[in-house]
Amino acid sequence: MTTPVALTIAGSDSSGGAGIQADLKTFAALGVYGASVITALTAQNTRGVSGIHAVPADFVTAQIDAVFADLEIGAVKIGMVAQVASIDAIAAALSRLAPRHVVLDPVMVATSGDRLLAAEAVDALRTGLIPLASVITPNLPEAAALLDEVVATSEAEIESQGRRLLALGCRAVLIKGGHGEGAESIDYLVDANNTIALAAPRVATRNTHGTGCSLSSAIAAGLAKGEDLERAVRNAKSWISAAIEAADRFSVGHGHGPVHHFHRFY
């Protein structure tokens, strides 16, 4: 039996709730072996980010090459990329290695509001990584920032922004509705043929640290296991909704606590 393997390329979260740590927890919770390439070290906790130390771009490349030289990677998730040089290195490596599935979470701002991507790196993200992606997973503010537009507030505006993001070269866009309002959190999966609305009850909790990282990792896990994109997204949405719902079982930190990645197990 072949073991499904997913790779996360992202930043480390010293408090364990987001980034590389959340990604590896997600892969494990969903029965996928996780490998990692670290782009940055962060000094952070549930209250915020107090420092970022970027990994040199050539060492990002060295990590990617080491993993691909030995492991059979079923899907790649890209999270925090930190700087232009890292984006260029990742784009060059993935163009050369051509993994079957790439899930790009365009991480720009942490749950706490701290900026995680330099402004000048946004254009490099647009031109270097988005064209390589099977799917990108921006939330409403990130989708607007990628397009230099205001945040969409209606279904028609969200679908329109999704179509314009598709034009940047990715195969599909999942615009996440967690920053919206109303009783339901509605995500929109947009590809060349369809727009699918995926609704889940909005959970009243402040423990949402790592939600976006974990959702994109869950999609990558599904793709690594051989699911098609719609099935992977539906399963990931169902899993992250349950992880948010179970988050208040934890009492971790004094700010935005983590979601419960292993809610199925304890």
Q: For residue 254, is it within any domain?
A: no
pTM summary value? 0.95
- 3-class state of residue 9 by DSSP: strand
Domain carrying residue 131: 5-249
Q: For residue 224, is it within any domain?
A: yes
Active-site hit among 212, 222, 237, 257: 212
Tell me whether residue 225 is one of the annotated catalytic residues. no
CA dihedral of 211, 28, 64, 12, whole degrees rounded to 10 = 40
Residue that the structure tokens 């079957």 belong to = 100
> What is the per-residue pLDDT for 110?
63
- 3-class state of residue 231 by DSSP: helix
Q: For residue 259, is it within any domain?
A: no
> What is the per-residue pLDDT for 179?
58
Tell me whether residue 31 is one of the annotated catalytic residues. no
Residue 171: half-sphere exposure toward Cβ, Cα within 13 Å: 11
Q: For residue 226, is it within any domain?
A: yes
Active-site hit among 211, 222, 237, 257: 211
> What is the per-residue pLDDT for 255?
83
For 126, the token pair is 């647009």
Domain of 235: which CATH number?
A: 3.40.1190.20
> What is the per-residue pLDDT for 84?
94
Tell me whether residue 210 is one of the annotated catalytic residues. yes
Radius of gyration of the chain measured on its C-alpha atoms: 17
Active-site hit among 46, 170, 208, 237: 208
> What is the per-residue pLDDT for 112?
61
Tell me whether residue 2 is one of the annotated catalytic residues. no
Q: For residue 257, is it within any domain?
A: no
> What is the per-residue pLDDT for 162?
96
Q: For residue 265, is it within any domain?
A: no
Q: For residue 262, is it within any domain?
A: no
User: What is the number of domains present in the chain?
Assistant: 1
Between CA 216 and CA 221 the distance in angstroms is 9
Tell me whether residue 170 is one of the annotated catalytic residues. no
Q: For residue 137, is it within any domain?
A: yes
Active-site hit among 25, 77, 176, 237: 176
Active-site hit among 213, 222, 237, 257: 213
Mean pLDDT by 10 residues, the chain (266 residues): 94 95 98 98 92 96 98 97 94 98 87 67 92 96 91 92 96 84 83 92 82 95 98 96 88 87 93
Displacement of CA 136 from its chain's centroid (Å): 8
